[in-house]
Chain A
Amino acid sequence: MSIIFKHARQLVVEIDEFINTAEQGVLVFKEGVLNYLNNEKESFADKISDIDRLEATADRLQHKIDDEAYQHSLLPQSISDVVSMLDRVDELIDIAKDNLYLFELELPFFPENIRKEYIRLTTTSVEAALCVIPAVRTYFREPIQVRDMLSKVYFYENETDKISRSIKRKLFHEMQELDLAQKIHLRYFALHIESISDKAQELADTLSIMALKINI
């Protein structure tokens, strides 16, 4: 009896740790992009190594959680849902890492008169992710509350879309000083930043169905 409780306790600790890691990863992404936009090179390099470490930790924890849950037949009815939900959480930190690396590899140039929009885009997109992560925690403790928490995610995702559209309009309609290659390059970075909130929305959709299932 105590063995099964021991495994359960360990799994709870690992799930909490995994969610915290993903949350930190998203925060590091935000800070990293802001560092890049503000031309803080040293801090940006730190964020690159931080997100690398956090992503590796998240992967390790995710594999451990999957192994232990299946090995000890924990949550037999909802294990596949939980595993796919945690996979979506992992996708958040994965995409945050990939996108931050793109800044380091492609060194996009952000003209002064559009940086503010990119800062707003980053903050809003990351906010969507920061709203969905507490809902993941709540799913494990109070699933009935999850759906109420997700409205903020959809709001920030929607706001991100609007900001992204306005950036693209500005790039292609107003900023005649940039050549087409630059415009396209900057458009892609708007899409990369926006993808964080898209992933948050996908996670929110998954959570919403899971919460409904568990409450039934």
Chain B
Amino acid sequence: MITLLFLTSGLFLGWSLGANDAANIFGTAVGSRMVRFKLAAIIAGIFVIIGAVAQGAGANDTLGDLGSVSTLGAAFTVALAAALTVFWMTRLSLPVSTSQAIVGSIIGWNFYTNNPTDLGVLTKIVATWISGPILGGVFAVLLFMLLQLATRKVRLHLIYKDVITRVGLVIVGAFGAYSLGANNIANVMGVFTHSIQLTPLDFGWLVIGSKQQLFFIGGIAIAIGIATYSRHVMNTVGRSLMPLTPEAALIIVLAQSLVLFIFSSQTLSNAIASIGLPPIPLVPVSSSQVVIGAIIGIGLYKGGREIKLNILGSISLGWIATPIAAGILSFFMLFFMNNVFKQEVGSIEIKRILQTETEPGPVQKNDSTTIYPDSLQNDSLVNH
């Protein structure tokens, strides 16, 4: 029960991610009435869960490398700090991303617990934030050129084009939801994977481990966010903030889905590495910023007259402001959690021990405390 209580901050983060980011996938389709909200919500909900469970581990491991938040109290606080940052910055109409908020929060935890932040991992993550929107723009331009070519070659009747676009929006939306689940589940559940160990579910032909179960729960939170609150956001995105034709929306959602998929697919990363190229870093990226990158890409391709350059400034501000705000909030909240609520929030020793989790058996921390590697019994950490 206490585990579930601590998990609520992550579930809240998942809910808000579903409420906001589903609009990047189905916003235009629903706003333009090409796809009914009910259908969009069902498809997005199902595929976000599948993506989270099937492919969520890669990006999660990278966040783990940045900081293995080791206790349940700390995980709760770190996720809550990220969620509050997202909520607060959204209220102030500032550009915000759950990916950037959670990274800032984890760094805040690193500072508070005196754990060193791996600059190599941090550089990799920040580089991905920059390359994500750029890659989104490149993909969008290439897909846009392909669509233009196809439209010129095949003189489809407007009605057929409408139906094909509609079917395309549903298929691409499903792929987008899968990629969103795969890439962004780490933001929601990543900080809990070291501190919560659930009993694996053995179905004989299939064993569902602790991480997968957590990702499944996080996926459900995202799906609930989509079902309960994304309708308004979708209509806003589709009708006012980002008015796009359904064809352009198809291109942008596909470009965004490809970027999110690339930054979460272990198989693709291994395949790239196997041919001697540097492996793709598996990092949670902001779907909203990739979408903006894709729109700017198309805008530049069409001559650049319609681009509002201040959007680029807002994204850059988001890259800096969100992690800093989340980091500071996380630091102070951890202080309160530790000193007011007397919850263990982790220490440098714990992280070192957790990094050697491949070694079996309990590890003596000091005379009075025994720490178990999280693969064995991490829940016990809560009580120390």
Contacts and interface: CB of A to CB of B under 8 A. Distances in A.
Contacts of B155: 141-142
B167 A8 contact: no
A77 B245 contact: yes
B32 A76 contact: yes
Contact of B162 (A74, A139, A142, A216): A74
A149 interface: no
A12 interface: yes
16 contacts: A4-B163, A4-B166, A5-B163, A8-B163, A11-B159, A12-B157, A12-B159, A74-B162, A75-B159, A77-B32, A78-B158, A139-B158, A140-B157, A140-B159, A141-B158, A142-B155
Given A8-B162, A74-B162, 14 more contacts: A4-B163, A8-B160, A11-B159, A75-B162, A76-B32, A76-B34, A77-B32, A139-B158, A140-B157, A140-B158, A140-B159, A141-B155, A141-B157, A142-B155
Contacts of B245: 77, 216
A77 B159 contact: no
A73 interface: yes
B interface residue count range (under 10 / 10 to 19 / 20 to 34 / 35 or more): 10 to 19
Interface string A73-100: 1111110001000000000000000000
A143 B157 CA distance: 10
Contact of A74 (B32, B159, B167, B246): B159
B38 interface: no
Interface in A2-54: 4-5, 8, 11-12, 15
Contacts of A75: 158-159, 162
A1 interface: yes
Contacts of B33: 73, 76-77
Interface string B31-51: 011100000000000000000
B376 interface: no
A216 B246 CA distance: 12
Interface in B81-129: none
Contacts of B34: 76-77
B156 interface: yes
Contacts of B167: 1, 4
Contacts, number: 43
A94 B247 CA distance: 36
Interface in B197-248: 245-246
A1 B159 CA distance: 15
B157, B245, B246 interface centre (most CB from chain A within 10 Å): B157
Interface of A: 1, 4-5, 8, 11-12, 15, 73-78, 82, 139-143, 214, 216
B250 to A, nearest CB: 13
Given A76-B32, A77-B246, A141 B156 contact: yes
Contacts of A141: 155-158
A79 B107 CA distance: 52
Contacts of B160: 8, 12
Contacts of A74: 159, 162-163
Contacts of A140: 157-159
A77 B30 CA distance: 11
Contacts of A5: 163
Interface string B157-188: 11110110011000000000000000000000
B325 to A, nearest CB: 39
Contacts of A76: 32-34
A140 B160 CA distance: 10
Given A1-B167, A4-B166, A15 B32 contact: no
A12 B159 CA distance: 7
Q: Which 4 pairs from chain A and chain B are nearest by CB?
A: A76-B33, A8-B163, A140-B158, A141-B155
Contacts of B162: 8, 74-75
A139 B157 CA distance: 9
Nearest to A73: B33
A214 B246 CA distance: 11
A71 to B, nearest CB: 13
Contacts of A12: 157, 159-160
Contacts of A143: 158
B348 to A, nearest CB: 57
A177 B162 CA distance: 62
Contacts of A8: 159-160, 162-163
A103 B155 CA distance: 42
Interface in B304-332: none
A75 to B, nearest CB: 5
A5 B32 CA distance: 20
Nearest to B162: A75
A76 B158 CA distance: 12
A84 to B, nearest CB: 15
Contacts of B32: 76-77
Nearest to A138: B155
Contacts of B163: 4-5, 8, 74
A74 B33 CA distance: 9
